[in-house]
């Protein structure tokens, strides 16, 4: 049996707000994510979904519980070791793109390679941009790109180190309908190629593009179901009205 790429056991996260006040973001969460899965984690604001992503992505540590990444208990790792794990095994995509405004697409995608020992940063960044359909836009700055194109640059940046897992936190939150379908089609294609995708969203229709949907409320998993008929993003694109299909998000 193949070992899950992520294993979480009895995860608890408590934030101290001062004055003795505590916020229980996660309460005894346990789950496993198979290698090559596409998981949508859905919940309202404050449900704990972002706290869970931050811990799974080695951006934060739990108050208690264990997280295994590729069979390694990351709870025992120091900050430098966690940074190496993030750089080599994990890619992140965020709602706000997080691109440097005075740096062109190619240079933005090269950034994670600064901390990598891989040679040929420019070539790898170019290949990553080509893989998301932006081979002709590599020298454009964020202000010269549409929202959908900026998110594609962010995805290319997440992919440039060839991570096993991509965490996407509300990746369609700032996009119009057509661009949202394009980004979800890209994630579905990446998953088909074997990449593990963990999608964080508050939108049910976006989560339903995933092959497994986990719903979180009040820091607990309240639903965990296999999605036997994921929404087909490519089909969604093809079914858009003509005027919407012709729209370019600028």
Q: What angle (nearest 5°) sits at the alpha carbon of residue 170, between those of residues 10 and 172?
A: 155
Please give the pLDDT value at position 25.
96
Q: How far apart are CA 93 and CA 170, in angstroms?
A: 8
pLDDT computed for residue 88 by the predictor: 86
Structural domains in the chain, sorted by start: 35-60+78-246 (3.40.50.300)
- The span from the CA of 6 to the CA of 217, in Å, is 21
The pLDDT score that the predictor gives to residue 100 is: 95
Query: Quick one: pLDDT at residue 245?
Result: 44
> What's the mean per-residue pLDDT of the chain?
92
pTM for the model stands at 0.91
Q: Which residues of the chain fall short of a pLDDT of 70?
A: 1, 242-250
Tens-digit pLDDT profile for residues 94-140: 999 999 999 999 999 999 988 777 788 899 999 999 999 999 999 99
**CA-CA distance, 204 to 72, in Å (whole number)?**
32
Give CA–CA dist 57/91, Å, rounded.
Answer: 9
Determine the longest span between alpha carbons in the chain, in angstroms.
57
In whole angstroms, give the CA distance from residue 173 to residue 38.
19
Residue 76: predicted pLDDT: 83
């Amino acid at each position: 049996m193949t070992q899950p790429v992520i294993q979480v056991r009895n995860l608890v996260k408590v934030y101290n707000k001062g004055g003795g006040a505590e916020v229980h973001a996660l309460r005894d969460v346990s789950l496993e994510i198979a290698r090559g899965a596409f998981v949508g984690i859905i919940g309202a604001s404050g449900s704990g979904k972002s706290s869970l992503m931050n811990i799974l992505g080695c951006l934060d540590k739990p108050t208690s519980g264990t997280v295994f990444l590729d069979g390694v208990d990351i709870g025992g790792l120091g900050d430098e070791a966690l940074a190496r794990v993030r750089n080599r095994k994990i890619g992140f995509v965020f709602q706000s793109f997080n691109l440097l405004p005075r740096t062109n697409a190619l240079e933005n995608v090269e950034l994670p390679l600064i901390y990598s020992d891989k040679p040929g940063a420019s070539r790898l960044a170019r290949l990553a941009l080509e893989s998301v359909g932006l081979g002709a836009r590599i020298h454009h700055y964020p202000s010269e790109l549409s929202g959908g194109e900026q998110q594609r640059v962010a995805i290319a940046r997440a992919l440039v180190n060839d991570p096993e897992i991509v965490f996407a936190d509300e990746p369609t939150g700032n996009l119009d309908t057509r661009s949202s379908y394009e980004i979800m089609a890209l994630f579905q294609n990446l998953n088909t190629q074997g990449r593990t995708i963990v999608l964080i969203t508050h939108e049910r229709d976006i989560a339903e593009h995933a092959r497994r949907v986990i719903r979180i409320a009040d820091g607990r998993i309240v639903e965990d179901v296999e999605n036997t008929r994921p929404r087909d993003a490519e089909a969604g694109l093809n079914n858009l009205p003509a005027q919407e299909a012709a729209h370019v998000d600028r």
